[in-house]
Structure 1
Amino acid sequence: MKKTFSALALALTVCLPSTLYAKNNVVVVATGGTIAGAGASATNSATYTAAKVPVDALLNAVPQIQELANVSGVQALQIASESITDKELIQLARKVNELVKDPKVNGLVITHGTDTMEETAFFLNLVIHTDKPIVLVGSMRPGTALSADGPLNLYNAVALASSDSAKGKGTLVMMNDNVYAARDVAKTINIHTNAFNSQWGALGTVVEGKTYWFRTSTKLHNDSSAFNIEDIKGDALPLVQIVYGSDNMLPESYLALQKAGVQAIVNAGTGNGSVPNYIVPTLVKLQQEGIQIVRSSRVANGFVLRNAEQPDDKYGWVVAHDLNPQKARLLTALALTKTKDAKTLQEMFYNY
């Protein structure tokens, strides 16, 4: 009788659908953005008000996510992402840090506006110490629009955050079926749903709730990062600003930032992070007066070569490697909480 019962139990175990097994617990942390936006009509895909829909309504609009995981929601912010400052970044990171430390939480999804999603993702990638999946997701069309992309993006993000295969892969961005590394991803189109890309390619893709992986990021992130949100005091980072490169630039643009109290300036130069010959004396003087100069590029792909175009070693400048200006700003600000040594800063840009 005991053998018969054991055989029956084994057969039931093999045949039972996976939905009867314990599901992972995923918390959706809402911050606003287009995914929480609403337009005046179904044909308004580019004209709408962002950050209107609360987290509970977002979750109720996609009931299928509850088949993937036990999903709950938290409203951390309610803001259009272009209005996020370092204060909101730090506030969000502290909330995320609190949630990942909860042993009952297996993964997080952060709904976010697309305008600065890449910055928030990269910041969390640097300051949150966990191997639990952290997935940022947004949409290019409000939920009221025809062919709104938010519901499927959210479904895919929950699928990704609930997948054990996503553990330890760093903070991720889930958009338009693709999984991107927070470090590499950037918004490259402002009106289409395939708005996010990485010059190094996607890490994987999600199809019908299943994640398929093709590569991993080799850069330091999350658990391997030297930065930690718990080390940041107050609600501000060292002030770092960006100057956009073009023809006919003015030294006054940099001098105004010096007057504002910046600790570093990211020069979003042309080409290989180029600096015009008539601007070089200003940047050399600022460096000598204690303001770190970081050469980045306004060009979307490639990377800035050290000691090419400018003698970086001679001036004590740092190159941003392949980080775009906005991510270079964040890494510089965090790096300045640790050191002001240019050589150490440069190593951080290569390692992160």
Structure 2
Amino acid sequence: MIHLIATGGTIAGEADPESGGARYRAGVRPVGALLAAVPGLDAFDLSAEQVLSLDSKDMTPDGWLTILAAVRRALGDPATDGVVILHGTDTLEETAYFLQLTVPGGKPVVLTGAMRPADHPQADGPANLLAAVRLAASPEAHGKGVLVVMNATAHAARHLVKARTTGLDAFESAIDWTDARPDGRFADLAADALPRVDILPGYAGAPAGLLDACVAEGARGLVLALTGHGSVPSAWLPALRRAREKGVVIVRASRCAGPVIRNANANDDAEGWLTVGSLPPPKARIALMLALACDGPFTAD
């Protein structure tokens, strides 16, 4: 049996009549209606549940925990052979990576979504959903970690990125999904909330006061999405040192494609900073949140 977990997203969206077709509302259609619109699904033994109904731009860490709880319930059922999660594309790569770190390898977990709403005359959701179910049901998907299917292409969660704002080919990944491996380093996560970690972008004239504001609001970690090879603005140094004195974990990343190498372009050892390797800032944030929640090491991988 393949268990489907619906969270909303464009795949469940409908045109907004007030916009004259210029906009749509995500997360409108329930999972039963989505399944009924997909020819070929009757060949599979399926179960389904609706755990969220939102536009994925509004996904939160609490939402991740809700999805994780549903995944754990499904995978714990001996009758479940795999899980498919329907999700909006805006934060699809973040949820996929969160699950990559918190779900042990074994049974397939596959996410999918859509770039066009469900009532679009050429909606891509039905084909993506069918492809995701097929992948979750295939022996080849076992032991590959969390996967994502979009536009007839499978991706590994660790390497997935939404590279374009529009188009059915909006997603890319650096490796073939068949080379993917499970992670699950935080599979024992028992927290009912995740610590706050903020991402701060580096740009010309970026004010250091943003760092102080995040710390004042309760951030336990800061991921710096810096320019170039993780270049820290000189004006930020006093604020970063104040944050470290308060126990805030600082991670040096880049807004460019990585890697950010430790002690290259900055004295990370002297400042007590961590570095991300090739991990992009949104995924580095997730890894740091989980490391703080589990009192474990932050690993850039």
Q: Paired residue for 1:316, among 252, 272, 279?
A: 272
The answer to whether the 8 A contact 2:104-2:145 is kept is no
Q: What amino acid is the match of 1:315?
A: E
For the residue of structure 2 that corresponds to 1:279, the secondary structure is helix
The answer to whether the 8 A contact 2:13-2:24 is kept is yes
Would you say 1:108 and 2:83 are equivalent positions? yes
Q: Deviations over 1:99-133 (max 9, x none)?
A: 00100000111000001111111111111224100
Q: Paired residue for 1:291, among 229, 248, 253?
A: 248
Question: Match for residue 113 of structure 2?
Answer: 138
For the residue of structure 1 that corresponds to 2:216, the secondary structure is helix
For the residue of structure 2 that corresponds to 1:336, the secondary structure is helix
Question: Match for residue 189 of structure 2?
Answer: 231
Q: Deviations over 1:187-235 (max 9, x none)?
A: 111111111112x2342xxxxxxxxx4x334xx513xx2x12x53232x
Question: Match for residue 124 of structure 2?
Answer: 149
Query: How many angstroms apart in 1 are the aligned matches of 2:151 and 2:243?
Result: 43
Q: What is the 5 A alignment of 1:53-202?
A: 53-67=29-43, 69-198=44-173, 200-202=174-176
Query: How many angstroms apart in 2 are the aligned matches of 1:247 and 1:322?
Result: 23
Q: Could you tell me the percent identity over the aligned residues? A: 39
Would you say 1:37 and 2:13 are equivalent positions? yes
Deviation at 1:285, TM superposition (A): 2.6
Query: How many angstroms apart in 1 are the aligned matches of 2:189 and 2:300?
Result: 20
Question: Match for residue 221 of structure 1?
Answer: 183
Query: How many angstroms apart in 2 are the aligned matches of 1:50 and 1:191?
Result: 16
Q: Deviations over 1:161-188 (max 9, x none)?
A: 0001100100011111111111110111
Q: What amino acid is the match of 1:133?
A: P
Deviation at 1:337, TM superposition (A): 2.4
Query: How many angstroms apart in 2 are the aligned matches of 1:243 and 1:158?
Result: 37
Gap runs ≥5 in structure 1: 1-24, 204-212
Q: What amino acid is the match of 2:274?
A: V
Aligned CA RMSD, in angstroms, stands at 1.8
Query: How many angstroms apart in 2 are the aligned matches of 1:182 and 1:231?
Result: 19
Q: What amino acid is the match of 2:61?
A: D
The answer to whether the 8 A contact 1:302-1:322 is kept is yes
Query: How many angstroms apart in 2 are the aligned matches of 1:45 and 1:60?
Result: 24
Deviation at 1:322, TM superposition (A): 1.4
For the residue of structure 2 that corresponds to 1:29, the secondary structure is strand
Q: What amino acid is the match of 1:29?
A: I
Query: How many angstroms apart in 2 are the aligned matches of 1:130 and 1:326?
Result: 22
Question: Match for residue 349 of structure 1?
Answer: 300
Distance 1:170 1:250, change over 3 A: same
Q: TM-score, normalised by structure 2?
A: 0.95
Q: Paired residue for 1:47, among 23, 37, 57?
A: 23
Q: Deviations over 1:264-311 (max 9, x none)?
A: 100010111211111122212311321111011111x23211111111
Structure with max Cα Rg: 1
Question: Match for residue 228 of structure 2?
Answer: 271
Gap runs ≥5 in structure 2: none
Query: How many angstroms apart in 1 are the aligned matches of 2:247 and 2:258?
Result: 29
Query: How many angstroms apart in 2 are the aligned matches of 1:130 and 1:304?
Result: 28
Question: Match for residue 289 of structure 2?
Answer: 333
Q: Deviations over 1:122-164 (max 9, x none)?
A: 1111112241000000000012113211111111101100001
The answer to whether the 8 A contact 2:209-2:239 is kept is no
Query: How many angstroms apart in 1 are the aligned matches of 2:130 and 2:7?
Result: 17
Structure 1 consecutive aligned stretches of length 4 or more whose deviation exceeds 3 Å:
43-46
Q: What amino acid is the match of 2:189?
A: D
Query: How many angstroms apart in 1 are the aligned matches of 2:263 and 2:281?
Result: 18
How many residues in Structure 1 have an aligned counterpart in Structure 2? 300
Q: What amino acid is the match of 1:293?
A: I
Deviation at 1:40, TM superposition (A): 4.7
